[in-house]
Amino acid sequence: MITIDNISIPLPTIRRFPAYLRLLKEHANRGEVWISATTLAEELKLKPIQVRKDMACTGVEGKPKVGFLVSELVLAIEHYLGWDNTTDAILIGAGNLGAALIGYKGFENNGLRIIAVFDKDRRKVGSQIGGIVVSQIEDLAKTVDKFGINIAIITVPAHAAQSVAEMAVEAGIKGIWNFAPKNLNLSDNIVIQKTDLVTSFAELSAKLINHLDEQKQIQGK
Amino acid sequence: MITIDNISIPLPTIRRFPAYLRLLKEHANRGEVWISATTLAEELKLKPIQVRKDMACTGVEGKPKVGFLVSELVLAIEHYLGWDNTTDAILIGAGNLGAALIGYKGFENNGLRIIAVFDKDRRKVGSQIGGIVVSQIEDLAKTVDKFGINIAIITVPAHAAQSVAEMAVEAGIKGIWNFAPKNLNLSDNIVIQKTDLVTSFAELSAKLINHLDEQKQIQGK
DNA sequence: TAGATTGTTAATCGATTAACAATC
DNA sequence: TAGATTGTTAATCGATTAACAATC
């Protein structure tokens, strides 16, 4: 449960917000003005009741028989995700994954702009990655301070994650998006978001075993 | 809830398994034979009762006052994740993100091996990416069939995702790991795992707003 | 008007947490 | 033995789903 503007929004709802947003923007582009929860549900394979509950969190009121104003929903969702203003972030770790994130088109219209890249490796410093010059990690604090950055994205190897995270926090970073497969130990007032590729794969693995098992049992009978 | 070998395991437990596995292997490397749920909990910042519940799902029995056999837990968790045998997968979309996944060290010891890469772009075909030669997408079905591949990883742009997913399913793929920010519409008997970077960032954004709000309120009082 | 859709209140479901007896 | 830790059963909590009245 997350509270923004004194409104409590369940975390699963927050997670569904980006998918709604994408769809709503598509509809807006087609010139559509109204959309019903029923339609959204169908397109996202969710239950209408769940979409209505989620929409209720946005504070936008719908009209029975018509639905919701697309533009209102877009603005409300963007607001609760903090995407009404683009957030600047720094990235630490100029490897393959770092390059992928810098080049990722999806962030452009979704509130995230990576404005600086740092790496411990002196040989990478000065080189360009996705149009951004790699800086030495010693300059991190200066950049964070100068641009008032809150978010650091960590794409270094597991063994280096803890130490660069500490440097970032020291520099004033408030939120960390950690791609390294390592649990970070930081002060409680730092927000940590972990994206663990191995964990995602684990989920797929287990679901697939479960699924193939089921199919085998059905066929066996 | 996922059922494997007639044992039901909650999805959140499955998601915690990789973190346990990493920690357990570290302890094993240090020559430690026994480990208690209390210790695991402390190192992962979880509650001991939750770790005990999770361990119960593995079927491994612990000894009061001593804990669990590290080696038994490792084997049991690997079994439920299907990581006792490495899974071969193909990757579609030889862009930055694809390159990052192919080069990702974390997969090596965690049951995943990417054995072939495909791309629609003729100019990329024949070039190497992380030591793997990019094949033309027309050869996909042949490869899937020849090596009995179940899993496809999709790292193409959103607009191409649906069509390559359909090709993969046509070729016999049973599980899809989708990195494209697009909901796939496929037959119900295909397992789809979505890793949406924008969604992860949304979560961080919202948590951070909530957190900064809280801090402001505390200071205001 | 009739019917689709919203919004509210209550029921259900699943996961986490608590309490505590069993055990080495 | 005393005490830490396990494992089981019950309580709590939060999210999803159901039911239905309100409404345009």
Whether residue B112 is found in the same domain as residue B72: no
Host H or E run for residue A129: strand A128-129
CATH number of the domain residue A163 falls in: 3.40.50.720
CATH number of the domain residue A10 falls in: 1.10.10.10
Residues contacting residue A31 through CB under 8 Å, at least 6 positions apart: none
- Give ∠ CA B76-B81-A18 in degrees, rounded to 5: 140
> Is A209 part of any domain?
no
Whether residue A101 is found in the same domain as residue A162: yes
Q: How far apart are CA B127 and CA B98, in angstroms?
A: 14
Distance of alpha carbon A171 from the chain centroid: 22
Smallest Cα–C1' distance to nucleotide C16: which residue has it? Answer: B50
Burial of A134 (0-12, 13-18, 19+ CB in 10 A): buried
So what's the pLDDT on residue B216? 79
CB-strand contact A76/C, under 7 Å: no
Strand C nucleotides within 7 Å of a protein CB = 3-8, 14-19, 22-24
> Is A95 part of any domain?
yes
Whether residue B161 is found in the same domain as residue B69: no
pLDDT per residue, tens digit, chain B (221 aa), is 899 999 999 999 999 999 999 999 999 999 999 999 999 999 999 999 999 999 999 999 999 999 999 999 999 999 999 999 999 999 999 999 999 999 998 898 899 999 999 999 999 999 999 999 999 999 999 999 999 999 999 999 999 999 999 999 999 999 999 999 999 999 999 999 999 999 999 999 999 999 998 887 777 75
Q: Which nucleotide is nearest to A68 (CA to C1')?
A: C6
A186-219 core/surface letters (b: 16 or more CB in 10 A; e: else): beeebbbbbbbbbbbbbbbbbbbbbbeeeeeeee
**Encoded tokens for B206:** 């919202």
Whether residue B156 is found in the same domain as residue B95: yes
Q: Taking CB atoms and an 8 Å limit, are B14 and A45 in contact across chains? A: no
Q: Which nucleotide is nearest to A46 (CA to C1')?
A: D16
Whether residue B116 is found in the same domain as residue B186: yes
Q: Taking CB atoms and an 8 Å limit, are A202 and B107 in contact across chains? A: no
Q: How far apart are CA A201 and CA B18, in angstroms?
A: 9
In window 35-64 of A, residues with CB < 7 A from nucleic chain D are 46-47, 49-50, 53, 63-64
So what's the pLDDT on residue A221? 57
Give tens-digit pLDDT for A9-55. Answer: 999 999 999 999 999 999 999 999 999 999 999 999 999 999 999 99
Q: Would an 8 Å CB–CB cutoff place B151 in contact with chain A?
A: yes
CB-strand contact B66/D, under 7 Å: yes
Residues in chain A where the model's pLDDT stays below 70? 221
B115 φ, ψ to 5°? -105, -15
**Encoded tokens for B145:** 């069939």
Whether residue B149 is found in the same domain as residue B99: yes
**Residue for token pair 């990478």:** A124
Whether residue A189 is found in the same domain as residue A110: yes
Could you tell me which chain B residue has the CA closest to the CA of A215? Answer: B189
Whether residue A55 is found in the same domain as residue A116: no
Tell me A31's DSSP state: T
Q: How far apart are CA A128 and CA A58, in angstroms?
A: 41
Residue that terminates a domain, selected from A29, A64, A80? A80
Interface of A with B in 111-130 (CB under 8 A): 111-112, 130
Gap from B138 CA to chain A (nearest CA, Å): 25
Q: Name the residue among B24, B11, B151, B12 with its Cα closest to residue B76.
A: B24
What is the three-state SS of B123-170? CCCCCEECCEEEEEHHHHHHHHHHHCCCEEEECCCHHHHHHHHHHHHH
Whether residue A92 is found in the same domain as residue A177: yes
Tell me A20's DSSP state: H
Whether residue B112 is found in the same domain as residue B166: yes
> Is B211 part of any domain?
no
A31 φ, ψ to 5°? 85, 10
Q: How far apart are CA B157 and CA B160, in angstroms?
A: 6
Give tens-digit pLDDT for B53-70. Answer: 999 999 999 999 999 999
C-alpha separations of B188 from A161, B50, B90, B175, B192 in Å: 39, 32, 21, 11, 9
Give SS3 for A84. Answer: coil
Whether residue B62 is found in the same domain as residue B17: yes
Q: Would an 8 Å CB–CB cutoff place A195 in contact with chain B?
A: yes
Q: Does residue B173 contact residue B203 with C-beta atoms inside 8 Å?
A: no
Count of structural domains, chain A: 2
Q: Which nucleotide is nearest to A63 (CA to C1')?
A: C6
Whether residue A37 is found in the same domain as residue A99: no
Q: How far apart are CA B153 and CA A191, in angstroms?
A: 30
> Is B203 part of any domain?
no
**Encoded tokens for A21:** 């947003």
- Expressed as residue numbers, the domain containing A53 is 2-80
Q: Does residue B138 contact residue B170 with C-beta atoms inside 8 Å?
A: no
Q: How far apart are CA A52 and CA A42, in angstroms?
A: 12
Q: Taking CB atoms and an 8 Å limit, are A96 and B103 in contact across chains? A: yes
A84 φ, ψ to 5°? -70, -30
**Alpha helices, DSSP H, located in chain A:** 11-29, 37-44, 48-58, 70-80, 96-103, 140-147, 158-171, 197-220
Q: Taking CB atoms and an 8 Å limit, are B18 and A199 in contact across chains? A: yes
Residues contacting residue B105 through CB under 8 Å, at least 6 positions apart: A157
Residue that terminates a domain, selected from A42, A60, A80? A80
A27-59 core/surface letters (b: 16 or more CB in 10 A; e: else): beeeeeeebbbebbbebbebeeebbbebbebbe
So what's the pLDDT on residue B221? 57
Q: Does residue B52 contact residue B43 with C-beta atoms inside 8 Å?
A: no
Q: How far apart are CA A121 and CA A64, in angstroms?
A: 59
